[in-house]
Structure 1
Amino acid sequence: MQRKLDAKLICSIFAAGLMSFSGVLIETAGNVTFPVLMNDFHVNMATVQWMTTGYLLVASIIMPLSAYLKRNFSSRKLFVTAATLFVCGLVIDAVANQFIFLVLGRVIQGAGAGIAIPLMFNIILERTPLDKIGLLMGIGTMITAVAPALGPTFGGLVVNTLGWRYIFIFIIPVMIISLLMGIASINDESKKIAHTQLDTAGFLSIALTFIGFIFAFSNLSTILQKPLMFILPLAVGVICLIIFIKHSLNTATPLINIRVFKNTKFTQGITAYFIFQVNTLGLSFILPNYV
């Protein structure tokens, strides 16, 4: 396929980027709503955190599948699936009358975001002219980096003027626009589908790793009262991570090729980005609730 930076490519990147931006925006905007949700649904802070934890858990489990999904499905099908899941999750959250439904909506959105964020970068890497990849990768990264900064402000304005449900209601038309743009611009149905086999052992081990770590750090605030609620999930996460690394190094078709970490510059870059994201997302949770 000839690579050229035309209107369709720009539109497809913008459509996927808009979905990724919306996913991260809602995640950080939702942190501002915690005190209001605790009052409306009569739940404590540990419980209300599951609105974010459930979202991140599902998104982190789906993202490692991006390489497998890219090989076995067209970008168009993946985009439509992600957008549909996201819109369904938004509608559920907008009308939720019980906290469990609010978490369910966030979990469904997490599945959509887990597909959408890697998809945006896959479109850039596969279809962009080689001399423009750096520029568009930077723009794509900026999209996901700007959203956490805007989220608390957006959430605070909406919650204080209209109510927390409008955080989800306002994003629904944005996602519909993104879906229509993607349908019109993403067209790779002629792509040869590989039909590769899923690395089940790798997927299960990395999924349990994320589950263990997320459960552990979700219970970090109660470590003095309930130390086992932190230690046991952390141990599960560490053990499963070791299993995943050993498995990935000894299989011909790993879910994630971790050998890239042998490249020092890559490892340094990804470490810096990881620290930046932890700081940004952590502060976007702590500051609004503290204020």
Structure 2
Amino acid sequence: MIMTQKHSMTQILLAVLATGVMIFCGMVIETSMNIVFPTLMAEFNISTSTVQWMTTSYLLVVSIIVPISAYLKERFKTKSLFIFAIVFFIIGVSIDAFAEKFALLIVGRIIQGIGTGVALPLMFNIIIDEVPTEKLGIMMAVGTLVTAIGPALGPTLGGIISDVLNWHYIFIFLLPILLVALVLGFFTIPQSRPLNKRSFDFIGFAFIPLLFGGFILALNQISTNGIASWQFVTSLLVGLIGLLGFLHRSKHQTQPLLNLSIFKNQQFSAHVVSFLLIQMTLLGLGFLLPNFSQIVLNKSATIAALQLLSGAIIGAIFTLLSGKILDEFGANKPIKLGTIIIFLALCLFLFSTSHLSNATIIIFYAIFMLGVGTALANIMTNGITLLPSTYKADGNATFNVTQQFAGAVGTTVCSTIVALFQSGTPSSDIYTVTTRLGTKAGFSVLAVLTGLSCLIMWLTLNRSNK
């Protein structure tokens, strides 16, 4: 049995870096692919609702794997999990680097999702297990910062690479970085907790892909076959069966894959819901803006990417600063301020859709990411601290699966809304006009979501201070 011991902050930082690099690469691919969606649509002759599966399939698989992270943490060594995860990710990236068919691209993304689903909770579990409470906020922010750099660089890299070379090189350039992370993690990943050879709930796990897959497919069917179609109804029923089955199984297992009793803590539940709504908006905007720029404003992939760069950098910087603020002053101020800024930014997008330009997109997105950087990581950190130490791994898994599933839902919802409005051929004026209308409808939905997130956190934090 492995005995508990503390490790140096240097080793912890390097371990976080090793696990974070893989997640960073996943975010780079995810955000850079959003930029080259129009290129992929033209090259493979596919629709908007089809191309979004490049992102949705990846996030869906991550969502399926992350709920078992608490089990994996108890059952297997952290270093073994990391090696498994990064090898799978490297295989998936290698497939996509040389794929010539869209179906093969999806296969590569699914394999990458398996790797990320295992690795994503590892980084935060290392921080939660190893870092003293008084430094937890800043270290959680560092972990979030590692992943936040991906969205900062991804769109720009995707745009430049696809314009100068081609989109295959997005994957090719990441391979040596992943190999370095593999070596770094092999020598630094710590193991502080003893292992527990508990049994795996295969029946409970079988409900997870039904749950997430069913609901995502149902959303996707709205634009392709309509809400009255048998495909939509069937997918929705599959999702409901998965949800009810997983809830029933978790309730009657002594050691469930994910301990859902943590949701009895109403304040924790409120943090999760708010986190979900913001994450949906983050990924939804990541789909709407690049497509709007290229289709409506007729900009290149590089210009569409550069529009998001300054905002992503601001978000990354304020993620780190807000963690320091949380450690010194608590979660109340950064979360409240951040959620207000996010809502105001979506209102700016919504009421200016008809007049959006390069300059306004850059400014509005920078404001949005200022809010995200101030609030998002602190919502996760504060939510996890509301739980007893025995449930923190379940809390971490909950936030991570929420992050990935929300991203998949946000991308699918926004692509579905745009696809419902679009008509005409891609080069026609009517296609441009209807894409603008669909984008405005997408902004409307995201504004409602961010307004709800803001309201939930203000009510929750005010209640906790009484």
**Alpha carbons 2:22, 2:86 under 8 Å: kept:** yes
Q: Give the AA of the match of 1:194.
A: N
Q: Decide whether aligned partners of structure 1 residues 224 and 211 sit closer, same or farther in structure 2, where only a CA change above 3 A counts.
A: closer
**Structure 1 residue 76 displacement after superposition:** 0.6
Task: Count the aligned residue pairs.
Answer: 290
Q: Which residue of 2 aligns with 1:140?
A: 143
Q: 2:280 aligns with which of 229, 253, 278?
A: 278
**Structure 1 residue 167 displacement after superposition:** 1.1
Q: Which residue of 1 aligns with 2:11?
A: 8
Q: Which residue of 2 aligns with 1:257?
A: 259
Q: Which residue of 2 aligns with 1:244?
A: 246
Q: Decide whether aligned partners of structure 1 residues 251 and 191 sit closer, same or farther in structure 2, where only a CA change above 3 A counts.
A: closer
**Alpha carbons 1:12, 1:185 under 8 Å: kept:** yes
Task: Structure 2 unaligned segments of length 5 or more: list them.
Answer: 294-466
Separation in 2, partners of 1:35, 1:231: 30
**Structure 1 residue 146 displacement after superposition:** 4.8
Q: Which residue of 1 aligns with 2:292?
A: 290
Q: Which residue of 1 aligns with 2:232?
A: 230
**Structure 1 residue 50 displacement after superposition:** 2.4
Separation in 2, partners of 1:197, 1:80: 22
**Alpha carbons 1:152, 1:284 under 8 Å: kept:** no
1:104-253 → structure 2 map (5 Å cutoff): 104-188=107-191, 192-224=194-226, 227-253=229-255
Q: Give the AA of the match of 1:121.
A: F
Task: Structure 1 unaligned segments of length 5 or more: list them.
Answer: none
SS at match of 1:211: helix
Q: Which residue of 1 aligns with 2:37?
A: 34
SS at match of 1:2: coil
**Alpha carbons 1:148, 1:281 under 8 Å: kept:** no
Separation in 1, partners of 2:6, 2:203: 36
**Structure 1 residue 134 displacement after superposition:** 2.5
* Worse overlay, 168-177 or 33-42: 33-42
Q: Which residue of 1 aligns with 2:63?
A: 60
**Structure 1 residue 149 displacement after superposition:** 4.8
Q: Which residue of 1 aligns with 2:423?
A: none
1:127-170 C-alpha deviation (Å, 9 max, x unpaired): 22333223212222343345335433332222122211111112
* Worse overlay, 75-84 or 239-248: 239-248
Structure with max Cα Rg? 2
* Worse overlay, 152-161 or 281-290: 152-161
1:17-32 → structure 2 map (5 Å cutoff): 17-32=20-35
SS at match of 2:46: coil
Q: Which residue of 1 aligns with 2:268?
A: 266
SS at match of 1:33: helix
Separation in 1, partners of 2:26, 2:254: 34
SS at match of 1:219: helix
* Worse overlay, 201-210 or 131-140: 131-140
**Structure 1 residue 275 displacement after superposition:** 0.9
**Structure 1 residue 49 displacement after superposition:** 2.5
Q: Give the AA of the match of 2:83.
A: V
**Alpha carbons 1:149, 1:284 under 8 Å: kept:** no
1:178-213 C-alpha deviation (Å, 9 max, x unpaired): 11110121143x864322111122211122101101
**Structure 1 residue 226 displacement after superposition:** 6.4
Q: Percent identity?
A: 43
* Worse overlay, 47-56 or 277-286: 47-56
**Structure 1 residue 223 displacement after superposition:** 4.7
Q: Which residue of 1 aligns with 2:72?
A: 69
Separation in 1, partners of 2:197, 2:227: 49
**Structure 1 residue 239 displacement after superposition:** 2.7
Q: Give the AA of the match of 2:176.
A: P
SS at match of 1:196: coil
Q: Give the AA of the match of 2:231.
A: M
Q: Decide whether aligned partners of structure 1 residues 280 and 150 sit closer, same or farther in structure 2, where only a CA change above 3 A counts.
A: farther
Q: Give the AA of the match of 2:249.
A: H
Separation in 1, partners of 2:280, 2:169: 27
Q: Which residue of 2 aligns with 1:91?
A: 94
SS at match of 2:5: coil
SS at match of 1:20: helix
Separation in 2, partners of 1:203, 1:75: 21
* Worse overlay, 51-60 or 276-285: 51-60
Separation in 1, partners of 2:261, 2:158: 40
**Structure 1 residue 13 displacement after superposition:** 0.7
Give me the TM-score of the superposition, normalised by structure 1. 0.92
Separation in 1, partners of 2:228, 2:37: 23
* Worse overlay, 69-78 or 236-245: 236-245
* Worse overlay, 121-130 or 203-212: 121-130
SS at match of 1:3: coil
**Alpha carbons 1:83, 1:112 under 8 Å: kept:** yes
Q: Give the AA of the match of 1:270.
A: V
**Structure 1 residue 4 displacement after superposition:** 4.4
Q: Which has the higher relative contact order, 1 or 2, with Cα contacts under 8 A spaced 6 or more apart?
A: 1
**Structure 1 residue 259 displacement after superposition:** 1.0
